[in-house]
Structure 1
Amino acid sequence: MRYLIIALALLLAGCEVAPVKDAASVQVSTKLDSSLTLPVAAPLAYYISREDLQREVNGADGYSRWKFYPGPFFKKAADIVYPDFFSVAGPLAEDQSFRYLVKLSSEAGYSNLWGTYKVTVTASYLDRQGNEVFKTTTEASVTGANLWQEAYTSIYAEALKESTHRFLNHMAGLNSDLQQPISDEERQTADFDKLLGEMKPAGNGTGFFINSSGQLLTAAHVVNECLKTEVRYNGQNYPANRVALSRVLDLAVLQADLQPARFASIPANASDDVALGQSVFVTGYPLGSIMADYPSLTMGNISSLGGLKGALANLQFSAPVQPGNSGGPLIDYRGNAVGVVTSSLNQSMMLAKTGTTSQNVNFAVSAEYMRRFLDHSHVQYRYKPLKKSLEAASDAAVKFTVQILCYQ
């Protein structure tokens, strides 16, 4: 009895879960077919829904409450496990090559009585045509871990490795194409609607046309995680593909299959750029899920010719912006796009660091760095300012500003 009490006390005191560094360190029950040579040549993409990535695990007893967010550690486990088994493996993306897609879903829980973390993972493997070739459900748990982050990473990795062994064994038994080299078709963008079902927009931003060929400029963070991107123009949605993207500058160029009636003028050189205090306005689609299907316009001034902590590629302006304005144009009264809206000063951070908040401290990539990005990407644009008139400039701006829909 004494030994049972001691063992129980040690269990409830918690234990360290070793960080998962690779799939080899994860123990599973199913042994891999000895005929397989790893990594197999077949490229794999994996998909975890936003619901799984954002899932909460919470609960309470008479003494405490808890809330965990296991989703990011589900993805972390996938990032660790799959590259050990497949020569090319990565999260499903617009430019991700794959022969098989594994759609992952999970249920996650926690028992406060024993301190047990548990996950159930369902892995559905599809070919590029959307046909399901294999499906399996696995479970894993750990008790008494001190760090819930490491606990979930560990048991997700265990469940994913177990399901991967089952899939590879199944395909090996069919003498499948696991070892065939990657093909040109597998390098092309797949039909995500066929693979994932009808997709709904997960977010939205703003962009603006910069030439008559249907190319538009936006912020990179609006589109860099999209599986599919659409441009809403004159009440219709048009598919758009990425032409160029810079995460450093937070800029991206999209190509839509349409010819816009108007497109923005971009200053040709530094002498045409904005000056401190100059009046400007912003057009865009803020709060796109609840606001009208029409661009809004807010007015302000150039507050600084530098960004946060003097960032040279940015300028600061006071025209109010909201979520959804990102990627939209900052425009002077001659109709020139003198910046691309990228961010606002974080109010929570300001309050924590200074004890106060700020108003209308917003940032845009300057015209100089817009030109550098477009020139480097070999994207055409032109400088054709209007007569200095807010009415004429705003009328043109609402015609070349569009909403961007991001599907994930």
Structure 2
Amino acid sequence: MYFTDISYVVHPVGRVTPNGVTLLGTAFFINRRGLLATAAHVTGNNDSGLVIVMNKASSIQDYQDTSDNAIQCIPAKIKEINPIADVCILEVPTIVQSNFILDSTDSVQVGESIAVFGYPHSDHGRMVLTQQDTSIGAKILIESSGIKLKNIVLNIQSRPGQSGSPIVIPEKRAIAGLLIGSYAPQVNGSISIGGIDPQTLHQTTHAISAEYIKEMLE
């Protein structure tokens, strides 16, 4: 399925710094006017200088010019944040809203194909809206602060910049979850090479259920 209109829904999150705008991750408009969802670890509990960088492509089918560094930003404020579920709701001064419905990981099956839309490598300034198709490898519960949360495992290697990406169920035009990041074992003595933890170089990516986004809107 071709999601030609996804470019109006999924945008990079950035922060204004003295050296310009630093891209932090991915956010997507939800079906409430002027509200977007992203991962809480993308923004932290700090909306100082926070912006949504508007995607320049009118369709994901367009050629995206990687040499065009001009950007259009709109200020964003944190409306609600749930650090336990790693979900953040942002508010922007626009009437834009998504025509994709918020669903849940309950609606998908292990082995089912889904689509991920985000901005891999945006931590290096690369702003390319990218579709990656994969399948669901498992449904899991992850405990955080004594609460067990519904997640799914995606059979894909995610990269920095994709945190906050929507997990789309193609046939339903629905969002089942929000990409959190690669599984990383909690071990001592881990190293970083070029800013990358080698333990994350695998096809085990976690996404939190979109039902936790819906709970924050109630």
TM-score normalised to the size of structure 2?
0.68
Residues 374, 364 of structure 1: CA spacing in aligned structure 2 closer, same or farther, 3 A cutoff? Answer: farther
CA deviation after TM superposition for structure 1 residue 367, in Å: 2.7
Q: Deviation of residue 198 (structure 1)? A: 3.9
Give the counterpart of 1:274 among 77, 87, 108.
108
Using the alignment, how far apart are the partners of 2:140 and 2:165 within structure 1? Answer: 19
Q: CA, structure 1 residues 249+211, in 2 after alignment: closer, same or farther (shift >3 Å)?
A: same
**Quick check: which one's strand share is greater?**
2
- Mark the structure with the bigger radius of gyration: 1
The residue that corresponds to 2:94 in the other structure is 258
Structure 1 pair 322–350 and aligned structure 2 pair: CA distance change class (3 A): farther
Residue 55 of structure 2 corresponds to which residue in structure 1? 234
Partner of 2:40: 220
Corresponding residue for residue 166 of structure 2? 329
| Alpha-carbon distance between aligned partners in 2 of 1:223 and 1:270, rounded to the nearest angstrom | 24
- Amino acid of the residue matched to residue 217 of structure 2? L
Q: From the superposition, tell whether residues 368 and 351 of structure 1 become closer, same or farther in structure 2 (CA, over 3 Å).
A: farther
Could you tell me which amino acid in structure 2 is paired with residue 340 of structure 1? Answer: L
Distance 1:303-1:290 versus aligned 2 partners, 3 A rule: same
- Given that 1:206 and 1:324 are in contact with CA atoms closer than 8 Å, whether structure 2 keeps it comes out as yes
In 1, are the aligned partners of 2:182 and 2:206 still within 8 Å (CA)? yes
- Contact 2:105–2:150 (Cα < 8 Å) also in 1: no
SS of equivalent to 2:149: coil
Match of 1:186 in 2: none
For 1:362, the aligned partner's letter is T
* Superposed displacement of residue 208, structure 1: 0.4
> In structure 2, how many angstroms separate the alpha carbons of the residues matched to 1:351 and 1:309?
24
* 1:213-266 deviations in Å (ceiling 9; x for gaps): 121011111112442210011332110111100111110111111233744311
CA contact (8 A) 2:157 2:201 kept: no
Paired with 2:40 and 2:127, the residues of 1 have a C-alpha distance of 23
Q: 1:319 aligns with which of 146, 156, 160?
A: 156
> What aligned pairs does 1:377-392 form with structure 2 within 5 A after superposition?
none
Secondary structure, in 3 states, of the residue corresponding to 2:217? helix
Q: 1:344 aligns with which of 174, 182, 185?
A: 182
Q: 1:231 to 1:209 in 2, by over 3 A?
A: same
CA distance in 2 between partners of 1:368 and 1:211 (Å): 13
Structure possessing the higher relative contact order (Cα contacts under 8 Å, 6 or more residues apart)? 2
Please tell me whether the aligned partners of residues 280 and 300 of structure 1 are also in contact (alpha carbons under 8 angstroms). Answer: yes
Q: Distance in 2 between matches of 1:211 and 1:253?
A: 12
Q: Please tell me the residue identity of whatever aligns with 2:178.
A: V
Contact 2:31 2:102 in 1 (8 A): no
Supply the AA of the counterpart residue of 2:158.
V
CA distance in 1, matches of 2:203, 2:137: 10
Task: Tell me, yes or no, if the aligned pair for 1:219 and 1:342 is still in contact at 8 Å.
Answer: yes
Q: Which residue, out of 182, 202, 213, partners 1:370?
A: 213
Contact 1:347 1:358 in 2 (8 A): no
- 1:345 to partner: Cα distance: 1.3
- Within the alignment, does 1:287 sit opposite 2:124 as a pair? no
Q: Residue 313 of structure 1 aligns to a residue in which SS? A: strand
Change over 3 Å in CA distance of 1:270–1:329 after alignment to 2: closer
Change (3 A) 1:337 1:316: same
Name segments (4+ residues, structure 1) moved above 4 Å: 307-311, 347-352
State how far apart, in whole Å, the 1-side matches of 2:95 and 2:114 are. Answer: 27
Q: How many Å separate the matches in 1 of 2:164 and 2:115?
A: 14
Superposed CA RMSD in Å reads: 3.2
1:66-103 deviation per Cα after TM superposition (whole angstroms, max 9, x unaligned)? xxxxxxxxxxxxxxxxxxxxxxxxxxxxxxxxxxxxxx
Letter in 1 for 2:164: G
In the alignment, does 2:204 pair up with 1:361?
yes
**Percent identical across equivalent pairs?**
25
Deviation at 1:200, TM superposition (A): 3.1
- 5+ long unaligned stretches in structure 2: 1-15, 57-71, 191-198
Contact 1:314–1:363 (8 Å) recurs in 2: yes
